[in-house]
Amino acid sequence: MTKDTIYIKTWGCQMNEYDSSMITQLLLNKYHFKKTNIPELANILILNTCSIREKAQEKVFHQLGRWRKLKEKNPAIIIAVGGCVAVQEGEEIYKRANYVDIVFGTQTLHKLPEMIKQVKNKNKHIIDITFPVIEKFDFIEYPKFPGVTAYVTIIEGCNKFCSFCIVPYTRGHEISRPVDELLLEISILAERGVREVNLLGQNVNAYKGKTFDGKICQFSELLRLVALIDGIDRIRFTTSNPIEFTDDIIDVYSDTKKVVSFLHLPVQSGSDRILKMMKRAHNVKEYKDIIKKIIKARPNIQISSDFIVGFPGETQEDFEKTLQLIKEINFDASFSFIYSSRPGTPASDLLDTISIEEKKKRLYVLQNLIKQNTKIWNEKMLGSIQTVLIEGPSHKNPMELSGRTENNRIVNFEGKPNMIGHFINLKITKINSNSLRGHYSKKFNN
């Protein structure tokens, strides 16, 4: 398998991006595949799917339909479908698209090389969507040049079973990776130039990993251990669940400065009635109390959140309570969506009487309010000196450099290539709609 060329298309969250990176490194480093960004040049097409959004299955089959044309021209092409939709649909994928060769799950991606080999030798389709216990992490191949930021999955699965969410059924129960394994991975990444690490999990703060002597390491302890790794100077994590955001984690914000002053903490709704229907384990008061404690520990922190608009049974009063919560917390940003029923979830059985027009109207109002908050936070940064991790050339202008602030803003500026991979202090001189403009001066970097 030395002449195979792969093309990977990834949809979904950072954990899907991490999984696709694992697939890529495994196939390239260990099995000497090549990679292309042009599907027409590949003989192995891999689709890593997400089931969160509405009509996720149809989106998958539309993409497969486009790839079918490539396979009709070249029957030797192998098509593989993985990720959450693969787990959710299983055999149905092959029934609807019998030209698909491989269906693999979120926990069986490490078996992909062997699956490809079997398809070539036996010329038949393979389905493996089982849940071996975090076995895939035993097959990690580290990138030689990972860049200056990296994602690391520390916990897989979810035990919360929110009524609207398909994740527990597609990712399995919560399983934490051993501490030593994580510290080794992050240390290797740091040696290869990573300066910022983003710890990932469906409920990342539920992490409880085993130590070498059989004890359990809590998430707060893991954050402090990662902060001790040479080269890692900035730590992010996502996504957290309010019910797991305990006082020991909040204390980390007081004593571990490498953990950024930016937190994504999904609330979903500002109505206790809707939260109960969503089977969220927290109420509004509990959520606000957590935020108060975090702000006390880290006064300059900025908060983002997730919101679902138009959940079955949501009244105008419920929606107004969500808007009120946004005003009280002063969220900096959000991921907000119109509710869409996921097959197999408890919420899919609820009567949904809210029109799509009303849902769109509410979403517009909510997003507009958040945008106003974001604008205010951005304006506060104008004229300030911000520490920016320089990631590489600017996407808009390759003659300039681009990086991120601690509060996750993109900053573009005129700089030198040797600044890439370093933290540079920049003065914010302009606020654009999706980015900031920075100015470098030696006097800011003494």
* Same domain, residue pair 107 and 10: yes
Instruction: Judge whether 8 and 42 are in contact, CB under 8 Å.
Output: no
> What integer is the mean pLDDT of 90-106?
93
> Has residue 272 been placed in a domain?
no
Considering the domain boundaries, does residue 115 fall inside one? yes
Q: Which two tokens stand for residue 195?
A: 């300066």
Q: What is the pTM of this model?
A: 0.91
CATH code for the domain of 255: 3.30.750.210
Q: What pLDDT does residue 115 have?
A: 94
Residues 216, 149 share a domain: yes
User: Do 254 and 202 have their domain in common?
Assistant: yes
- pLDDT for 54 equals 66
Tell me whether residue 339 is in a domain.
Answer: no
In a domain? residue 270 = no
Model confidence at 283: pLDDT above 60 = yes
Whether residues 42 and 114 fall in one domain: yes
Q: Quickly state the pLDDT bin for 327 (edges 50, 70, 90).
A: very high
| Stronger pLDDT, 123 or 68, i.e. the higher one | 68
pLDDT at 123 over 80: no
Average pLDDT of span 390-414: 95
- Residue 235 domain-assigned (yes or no): yes
Residues 180 and 240 in one domain: yes
CATH (domain of 435)? 2.40.50.140
217 labelled ligand-binding: no
Task: Give the confidence band of 2 by pLDDT, cuts at 50, 70, 90.
Answer: very low
Residue 124 and residue 159 in one domain: no
Average pLDDT over residues 373-398: 95
Query: Is residue 248 situated within a structural domain?
Result: yes
Cα separation, 8 vs 42, in Å, equals 10
Domain boundary at 94, 128, 162, which? Answer: 128
Average pLDDT of the chain, as a whole number: 94
Residue 351 CB-density burial (10 A; 0-12 exposed, 13-18 middle, 19+ buried): exposed
Instruction: Indicate the residue among 208, 238, 260 that finishes a domain.
Output: 260
Mean pLDDT, range 276-304, rounded to an integer = 97
Looking at the structure, do residues 154 and 109 belong to the same domain, yes or no? no
- Where in the sequence is the domain holding 63, given as residue range(s)? 5-128
* Range 171-192 average pLDDT: 95
Flag whether 355 is in a domain: no
6: CB partners within 8 A, 6+ apart: 24, 27, 33, 34, 35, 36, 42, 44, 45, 46
CATH number of the domain that 30 lies in?
3.40.50.12160
208 and 250 fall within a common domain: yes
Looking at the fold, whether 120 and 13 belong to one and the same domain comes out as yes
Are 23 and 124 part of one and the same domain? yes
The pLDDT value given to residue 317: 98
Q: Which of 260, 285, 306 marks a domain boundary? A: 260
User: For 177-197, what is the mean pLDDT?
Assistant: 97
186 and 79 in one domain? Answer: no
Per the structure, how many domains does the chain have?
3
Q: pLDDT tier at 320 (50, 70, 90 boundaries)?
A: very high
149, 238: one domain: yes
Q: How many residues does the chain have?
A: 446
Within a domain: 136: no
What confidence tens digit (pLDDT) does each residue in 12-57 have?
A: 888 899 999 999 999 998 888 999 999 999 999 999 998 877 677 8
Phi, psi of 388 (to 5 degrees): -120, 130
* Predicted pLDDT of residue 1: 39
* 165 appears as a binding residue in the annotation: yes
CA distance 11 to 57: 12
- Any known ligand binding at 158? yes
